[in-house]
Chains A and B, each alone.
Chain A
């Protein structure tokens, strides 16, 4: 999705650093997506949700639209690259490509649902990855275990998020500006700490914990899965999630209903920072090195995935499932292009087109339903 991932190896050679790769033809078993089935379900659900339109009413139709889009990309992948694309190994490559951006996107979903934006997550990822791999941190980790590095990354990410949150909620700095400042400053601080060098991870227990597979699936994919499920639960089943939607839907109404809007806003940016910290740990697990260039431009991929997934940029509606699908759509698209040895520039044009088309479709959808 980003530059970093665009440079993924050409088809046939092993994929992403952590990904085990396809022996071609090994997994013809993966069936082509059951397109006919899918569209039948789309219809059924669309009909079912037609009558009633609550906060969740149009959601399922939107999600199914994304599933169809993802399925369509998979069909293109299968037709153009055959079993090179449609193998379990390749699917795992796609998933591990999606994981880091995915975790950032989960945090971003909360911020955007509440009507905000966080441009700093990529930089904060870089800063956390550097801070967690300094000689000092790694020395401590040698002594006390890999958890030190993890805690360091999470703490750095959360702290950066808290700074964003305090500036936005209490300092009344516009979110775009506050997080833009953090984007620049965090990257600078990361360069300062790393002195523009790549800091290799030497703590073997860290690598043992985060590298490789668990039950045949890369560990970072597991982390993404856990974060996504936790994010879904937090948004849909907790008071925190309800407050997030309320703040994004109508901040004044939320305030007058007695919700502490400022405090909640701060928590949201802290959460996005925490997600960036988790993503930093995953990045260290995948690449084995902390670098100030880690996570460059990831914030844009995350925002794109969230918006394509159906979360309203103006706030008040958020969907974790949509975000996960948005991330998968971009990751799969990247993979299809790579499998077909296509220019990464063309791929970026396609990404741009997808963003525009997705948002246009959603706008049409939204205006149609709000009229009923």
Chain B
């Protein structure tokens, strides 16, 4: 591997003070990044640190609000994805970005089809596709195959082939190893070496420390949308130090004190041997009334799937879920809600809310039938109950008739919780309860969750933010690669230990 000697080589790509302001959220808040030709530059950061937004800025999918991007020392504007490719910046996204109905060759040259006078040169495209695939160590993938019929790992290879087909000078790889097995990761590394030897720069994103050690040259760490450390040597920086940089808290969260659990508190939620094919297996979980249990783990570890399967939103392939001693039918949300389970889903907007409907109807979405007589809505009662909850939770701005779209993330989340307060849940499942919620509102939500528990609910919390899981919960389960790898009191484990467990697990 090349040792880096910055002065001799001017950066190929520079980002200076990049800010990206979304309505209601500052995704990037001053990111600096220098990428040298021929290096593998690793980008580290927790979920929500701004890595994805940064990649999208580089790919021309987002425009930065402030700051500048320089290529070869010259300021450039990356207005569109095409502009990014013209500048020689190609991106491999984490989510597969292939078109299932097209062939491998068509996917590789999607958007820059080889053509003469509008007639596509299919043979040429296939020949070059074959070449690239051979370079990637996958000559067995036929350019003729329909991509939808390939396994996920092969689709990832196709996506990679596309990035290579652009003759890019900078290739951004967003967790390329996530769906690859170890042989394929070796192949990937080999290709990365070939590319860097030819002077191509790689921006490499991964959660797996050992990959970063194996392949990386330098590391830039992002946290809360800012660059907190630049150009650290990838092989010599201690893991502890990196973790501290990634998680070091600027903001102390205020967590409500946990209550001593009554010794005779009944088990409300009893999950045994729960499994979902392809996501997780053998999950046992017993939550007593008044208890908050946290699930810590990375995205893709299976933690959200566990919640959704308990809730019946996914059909368990094995195991049972009991609420108050009564077994729930697998894969039946309506039954779960009737039994008193409530879920505040991870993707609040996509899975939880009717954005154009008024606040009060969102609050009563699970209960409007209860206020009806013979199928006739009683909107007056509905609105009154919703208003009471909104007031109790200090929902702002006031007024339950406005479309919920107009509320901030924190207030939308409060409305989600209000929905289950009205319902009167015995079991509350919270998936990323403070995603997109600002610090002030977080404290309110934490207090609210604790209050619900004190009133006798059994609460399960999933969060990417380990301090949140540890601070809010009484008991913690660490999930990695679809298995529970640790269980114990929240006070008996610290953030670093959890991260170690999580990283070790995913290194398997």
Contacts and interface: CB of A to CB of B under 8 A. Distances in A.
B375 interface: yes
B368 A57 contact: no
B277 to A, nearest CB: 19
A187 interface: no
Contacts of B350: 250, 252-253
A242 B354 contact: no
A259 B352 contact: no
Interface string A309-320: 000000011000
Interface string A222-257: 000000000000000111111001100110111111
B366 A53 contact: no
A353 B255 CA distance: 60
From A54, A237, A245, A252, residue with most partner B Cβ within 10 Å: A54
A246 B375 contact: no
B343 A259 contact: no
Interface residues of A, number: 28
Interface string B424-447: 000000000000000000000000
A13 interface: no
B311 interface: yes
B351 interface: yes
A256 B354 contact: no
A193 B370 CA distance: 46
A20 to B, nearest CB: 38
Interface string B326-343: 000000011011100001
Given A54-B403, A259-B334, A253 B372 contact: no
A244 B353 CA distance: 15
Report which residue of B313, B334, B356, B369 has the largest number of chain A beta carbons within 10 angstroms of its beta carbon: B356
Given A249-B354, A256-B311, A256-B313, A242 B377 contact: yes
A304 B190 CA distance: 58
Interface string A52-64: 1111110000000
B375 A258 contact: no
Given A55-B403, A240-B375, A250 B355 contact: yes
A224 to B, nearest CB: 23
B405 interface: yes
A249 B352 contact: no
Interface string A359-372: 00000000000100
A260 interface: yes
Given A52-B401, A55-B403, A256 B351 contact: yes
A56 B356 CA distance: 9
B402 interface: yes
B99 interface: no
B376 interface: yes
Interface residues of B, number: 34
Contacts, number: 87
Given A52-B402, A237-B377, A256-B345, A250 B336 contact: no
B357 interface: yes
B419 A238 contact: no
Contacts of A255: 313, 333
B406 interface: yes
B407 interface: no
A239 B368 contact: yes
B432 to A, nearest CB: 14
A245 B365 CA distance: 11
B395 to A, nearest CB: 15
Contacts of A260: 334
Nearest to A316: B356
A268 B337 CA distance: 23
A317 B356 contact: yes
A253 B354 CA distance: 7
Contact of B354 (A56, A238, A250): A250
A54 B313 contact: no
14 contacts: A52-B402, A54-B402, A55-B356, A238-B372, A250-B350, A250-B355, A253-B353, A255-B313, A255-B333, A256-B311, A256-B351, A257-B337, A257-B365, A258-B333
Nearest to A53: B403
A257 B375 contact: no
Most chain A CB within 10 A, of B357, B358, B368, B406, is at B357
A8 B52 CA distance: 62
Contact of B351 (A240, A253, A316): A253
Q: By CB atoms of chain B within 10 A, which of A56, A240, A257, A260 has the most?
A: A257
Contact of A57 (B337, B353, B366, B403): B403
Interface string A282-297: 0000000000000000
Nearest to B347: A252
Given A52-B401, A257-B419, A246 B354 contact: yes
A25 B198 CA distance: 90
A256 B419 CA distance: 12
Contact of A253 (B311, B365, B368): B365
B369 A316 contact: no
Contact of A256 (B338, B343, B377, B401): B343
A252 to B, nearest CB: 5
Interface in B410-461: 419
A367 B350 CA distance: 19
Contact of B357 (A239, A249, A258, A259): A249
A201 to B, nearest CB: 35
A319 to B, nearest CB: 13
A328 to B, nearest CB: 26
A317 B358 CA distance: 12
B401 A54 contact: yes
A240 B369 CA distance: 9
A239 B333 CA distance: 18
A160 B418 CA distance: 41
Interface in B205-246: none
Contact of A239 (B356, B375, B401): B375
A54 B366 contact: no
A344 to B, nearest CB: 39
Given A249-B357, A252-B350, A257 B377 contact: no
Given A239-B368, A242-B361, A256 B376 contact: no
A251 to B, nearest CB: 10
A83 to B, nearest CB: 45
B337 A253 contact: no
A245 B377 CA distance: 14
Contacts of A57: 403
A238 B379 CA distance: 10
Contacts of A241: 377
Nearest to A255: B333
B396 to A, nearest CB: 16
Given A54-B402, A55-B357, A253-B353, A238 B375 contact: yes
Contacts of A246: 354, 357, 365
Interface in B288-341: 311, 313, 333-334, 336-338
A283 B20 CA distance: 61
Given A53-B403, A54-B403, A257-B366, A239 B353 contact: no
7 nearest interchain CB pairs? A258-B337, A54-B358, A249-B354, A257-B365, A257-B366, A55-B357, A54-B401
